[in-house]
């Protein structure tokens, strides 16, 4: 709704509100359950009391006090206001359609397995299965050892919203490493045609950690090299070479 129209309505409501009114606000929203059931609402409140409302289902303004009813009758007879609200309804329908297009396509999650120390546990280690960026919200994350389902020593977070329609979840398995034991994280989701198994490979994680340590060492060496060059340059700035012959 254009700013001048909004303030025009506020001014009209101020005229019909109580003399001690000190707080006013407007709520404009789209409500929908499907593309065939979309409602545009514009509500105007003073002192937490609803004074005036436009409901696209009714197609007109409704007042809730004696004076605001008079204002509603006036607005309903001004074609400019009604046409503007009808335009807002079309905008609401357009936005709802975009939302449904986005949410009608499941988004496949990305999964990462890593291990950590299991502090304060009877087990030595903990595996963390982190599942990111999936939609819809419902997902199932479970653990297997050598192909058998594991339910003990398992904890999990709820599905956590990323704030962008996507979700994440983290599942934890406390365990004591055994030679030859195969541990997998199984993920079931609407975006997957069948459950996906992610096997923990300690050798890959070890190589990743060695690479990280090597990279950190290289960066530290470069820092010392650059620092040394800067120091050498400053120390030799302004030095005059005297012939020895």
**Domains of the chain (ranges plus CATH)?**
3-103 (3.10.320.10), 110-201 (2.60.40.10)
List CB contacts of 107: < 8 A, sequence separation 6 or more: 133, 134, 135, 166, 191
Ramachandran region of residue 153, left (φ > 0), alpha (ψ -120 to 50) or beta?
A: left
Give the pLDDT of residue 179: 87
3-state secondary structure of 238: coil
205's tokens: 């994680």
Question: Would you call 82 exposed, middle or buried from its count of C-beta atoms within 10 A (0-12, 13-18, 19+)?
Answer: middle
Among 23-27, 50-54, 139-143, the range scoring the smallest mean pLDDT is 23-27
Residue with tokens 């096997």: 199
On average, the pLDDT of the chain sits at 82
State yes or no: cis peptide before 213, omega within 30 of 0: no
State the DSSP H helix or E strand holding residue 204, giving kind and residue range, or none if neither: helix 202-236
99 or 182, which is more confident?
Answer: 182
Categorize the per-residue pLDDT at 241 as very low, low, confident or very high, splitting at 50, 70 and 90: low
- Tell me what pLDDT residue 7 has: 47
Q: Is it the case that residue 242 has pLDDT exceeding 80?
A: no
Query: Between 122 and 160, where is the model more confident?
Result: 160
Reported confidence tier of residue 112, pLDDT bands at 50, 70, 90: very high
Residue 1: Cβ-neighbour burial (10 angstroms; 0-12, 13-18, 19+): middle
**Cβ(197)–Cβ(162) below 8 Å:** no
- Determine the average pLDDT of the residues in 30-50: 86
Cα 118 to Cα 201: distance, rounded to the nearest angstrom = 18
- Segment among 84-88, 95-99, 105-109, 212-216 with least mean pLDDT: 212-216
Question: Six-digit token pair at 102?
Answer: 């986005």
């Amino acid at each position: 709704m254009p700013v001048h129209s909004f303030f025009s309505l506020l001014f009209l409501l101020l005229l019909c509100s109580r003399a001690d009114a000190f707080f006013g606000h407007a709520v404009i929203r789209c409500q929908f359950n499907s593309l065939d059931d979309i409602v545009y609402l514009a509500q105007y409140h003073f002192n937490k009391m609803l004074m005036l409302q436009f409901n696209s289902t009714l197609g007109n303004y409704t007042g809730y006090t004696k004076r605001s009813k008079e204002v509603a009758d006036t607005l309903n007879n001004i074609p400019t206001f009604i046409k503007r609200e009808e335009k807002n309804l079309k905008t609401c329908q357009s936005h709802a359609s975009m939302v449904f297009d986005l949410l009608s396509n499941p988004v496949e999650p990305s999964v990462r397995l890593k291990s950590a120390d299991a502090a304060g546990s009877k087990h030595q280690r903990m595996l963390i299965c982190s599942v990111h960026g999936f939609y819809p919200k419902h997902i199932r994350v479970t653990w297997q050892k050598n192909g058998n389902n594991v339910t003990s020593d398992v904890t999990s977070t709820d599905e956590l919203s990323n704030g962008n329609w996507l979700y994440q979840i983290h599942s934890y398995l406390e365990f004591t490493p055994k030679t030859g034991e195969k541990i997998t994280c199984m993920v079931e989701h609407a975006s997957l045609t069948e459950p996906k198994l992610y096997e923990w490979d300690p050798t890959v994680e070890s190589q990743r950690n060695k690479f990280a340590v090597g990279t950190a060492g290289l960066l530290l060496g470069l820092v010392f090299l650059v620092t040394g060059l800067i120091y050498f340059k400053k120390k030799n700035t302004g030095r005059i070479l005297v012939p020895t012959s």
